[in-house]
Amino acid sequence: MSDFNEKFLSARVKNVQESQTLKVVGKISKMIKDGYDVVNLSVGEPDFPTPDFICDSAIKAINENFTKYTPNNGIIELRKAISEKLLKENNLSYTPEEIIVSTGGKQAIANVILTLCDKDDEVIIPSPYWVSYPEMVHLADGKCVIIKSDIDTNFKITPEQLKNAISPKTKIFILNSPSNPTGTVYSEKEIRALMDVIIDKDIFVISDEIYEHLIYGEIKHFSPAQILEMKEKIIVCNGVSKAYSMTGWRIGYAAAPEWIIKASGKIQSQMTSNACSISQKAALSAFMGDQSVVQTMKNEFAKRRDFMFEEINKIDGFKTNYPDGAFYIFPSIKGLIGKTLHGVKINNSLDFATYLLEKYHVGTVPGDAFGADGYLRLSYADSMENLEKAIKRIREAVKF
Ligand code: PLP
């Protein structure tokens, strides 16, 4: 046996949890590879192919040998296109110098957390949360302050809760609307009420708007950066992964005051340098091209959302709210906790997700991955045929 093993790992990495989502996804992939007919509703990416005109521009970039380092913060044409997008779609004015292009929205967010968060600084995160926020804060040696929300409030936190979570150590508040995993979308009025709580404080807001285009009802996307008095403390993070079905291309961005973008660029320059040159060209064509591709995917997601909402609410032990955005549904399965299903005792949501996967071949993500035991995340980024199959299997699985 070698003397060299995990004991040599840094305290930093020991303190970071492996992504629960990736763990479950790993198990699902293995079952699929082993030949099981698994309906995989654990995925966080659109099932549509990347539109042809976007792929064509990447092929053109390769053929033209656009394959070298680019400026660290991204090519100027792309930063200009993002600046125009923000003005046109969000009524937000940012110069290209106030924008950084990163390797996915994930790197854009991680850069900002590393840029602003010092040891023991507190970062307020509403739960259920996207799995990566707390771990990014841990990597920055910060402390997470979690505000809990549940299905009865449509997974929204109140200004009162935010107020109570603030301390002299609070540095950042992370807002994610539409939300992964709940699909919850805050209205303009609700965001204004939350911002009122921190408007006179030295607290920065990371506004993760990656699902902005996937909102299905009347409610409109609103960025807190539209509140002029707040803009100097807001970092808007977004990307092309979800809107254009480009998860593998790895292009995201942040828009914020220039001093924050410059500092984020400093971190990025020492970690990865520029995002992939070819993907930057592809993202440029996504912003400049025909936007009807976004609408087409959205219409399809809306139909699936309605189907999932209706069907899941009918299943014994499940209770769900009506999610306004993203492509996830996050039902409570508290009605099943403590029960024995076909000989398997269900003590928590991980038990249920494991049972569902192993015995009924439906892949989901347990709520505790998102800080909310007693819930289950099901992605409806899959064909109607597969969704119908999954519902049928889940119904079987909960039959007593
Ligand atoms: N933010 C949220 C809430 C997400 O769900 C994701 C991806 O799943 C991201 C950010 C990062 O997306 P990407 O790095 O693909 O741009």
Residue 251 within a domain: yes
Q: Does residue 19 have its Cβ closer than 6 Å to ligand 1?
A: no
Cβ–Cβ < 8 Å for 21, 376: no
Residue 304 within a domain: yes
Query: Which residues share a beta bridge with 206?
Result: 174, 235
Q: Are 300 and 267 members of one domain?
A: no
Residues of the chain with pLDDT under 70: 1, 19-22
- The domain in which residue 315 lies consists of 6-49+293-397
Could you tell me the CATH number of the domain that includes residue 360?
A: 3.90.1150.10
Residue 57 within a domain: no
Q: Are 216 and 361 members of one domain?
A: no
Instruction: Report the first-to-last Cα separation within the chain, whole angstroms.
Output: 49
**Domain closes at, from 262, 288, 314:** 288
Q: Does residue 134 have its Cβ closer than 6 Å to ligand 1?
A: no
Cα–Cα distance, 231 to 223 (Å, whole number): 10
Q: Are 189 and 42 members of one domain?
A: no
pLDDT of residue 20: 62
Q: Where does 188-320 have alpha helices with state H?
A: 188-198, 258-271, 277-288, 292-314
Q: Are 243 and 304 members of one domain?
A: no
Q: Are 284 and 304 members of one domain?
A: no
**Domain closes at, from 288, 321, 343:** 288
Atom number, ligand 1, closest to the C-alpha of residue 109:
10
pLDDT of residue 352: 94
Q: Are 85 and 147 members of one domain?
A: yes
What's the 298 CA to ligand 1 centre distance in angstroms?
Answer: 17
* Antiparallel, parallel or unpaired: β 122-127 and 143-148: parallel
Residue 340 within a domain: yes
Number of independent structural domains in the chain = 2
pLDDT tens digits, 13-67? 888 877 666 677 788 889 999 999 999 999 889 999 999 999 999 999 999 999 9
Q: CB-based contacts of 398: which residues, under 8 Å, 6+ apart? A: 315, 316, 317, 318, 336, 341
String of b and e for 223-243 (b: at least 16 CB within 10 Å)? bbbbbeebbebbbbbbbbbbb
Q: Does residue 126 have its Cβ closer than 6 Å to ligand 1?
A: no
What's the 311 CA to ligand 1 centre distance in angstroms?
Answer: 27
Q: Does residue 104 have its Cβ closer than 6 Å to ligand 1?
A: yes
What's the 261 CA to ligand 1 centre distance in angstroms?
Answer: 19
What's the 179 CA to ligand 1 centre distance in angstroms?
Answer: 10
Coil vs helix vs strand at 228: helix
Measured CA angle at 317 (ends 154, 388), to 5 deg: 85
What single-letter DSSP state applies at residue 227?
A: S
pLDDT of residue 201: 97
Cβ–Cβ < 8 Å for 227, 77: no
Residue 59 within a domain: no
Structure tokens at 35: 């030949």
Cα–Cα distance, 323 to 141 (Å, whole number): 33
Ligand 1: which of 20, 101, 206, 210 to mutate, most ligand atoms within 8 Å of CB? 210
**Domain closes at, from 269, 288, 307:** 288
Q: Are 113 and 191 members of one domain?
A: yes
Q: Does residue 240 have its Cβ closer than 6 Å to ligand 1?
A: no
Q: Are 272 and 388 members of one domain?
A: no
> Does residue 257 have a cis peptide bond before it, meaning omega lies within 30 degrees of 0?
no
Ligand 1: which of 22, 100, 106 to mutate, most ligand atoms within 8 Å of CB? 106
Q: Are 174 and 109 members of one domain?
A: yes
pLDDT of residue 43: 86
What single-letter DSSP state applies at residue 275?
A: P
Q: Does residue 44 have its Cβ closer than 6 Å to ligand 1?
A: yes
pTM score of the predicted model: 0.96
Cα–Cα distance, 333 to 376 (Å, whole number): 7
Q: Does residue 252 have its Cβ closer than 6 Å to ligand 1?
A: yes
Coil vs helix vs strand at 74: coil
What's the 343 CA to ligand 1 centre distance in angstroms?
Answer: 37
Measured CA angle at 188 (ends 187, 193), to 5 deg: 100
Q: Are 209 and 255 members of one domain?
A: yes
Q: Does residue 210 have its Cβ closer than 6 Å to ligand 1?
A: yes
Residue 137 within a domain: yes
Q: Are 180 and 315 members of one domain?
A: no
Could you tell me the CATH number of the domain that includes residue 165?
A: 3.40.640.10
* Alpha carbon nearest to ligand 1 atom 7, residue: 44
String of b and e for 312-343 (b: at least 16 CB within 10 Å)? beebebbebbebbbbbbbbbbbbebbebebee
What's the 236 CA to ligand 1 centre distance in angstroms?
Answer: 13
Residue 386 within a domain: yes
Residue 56 within a domain: no
pLDDT of residue 186: 98
Structure tokens at 124: 């307020």
pLDDT of residue 19: 66
Q: Are 155 and 259 members of one domain?
A: yes
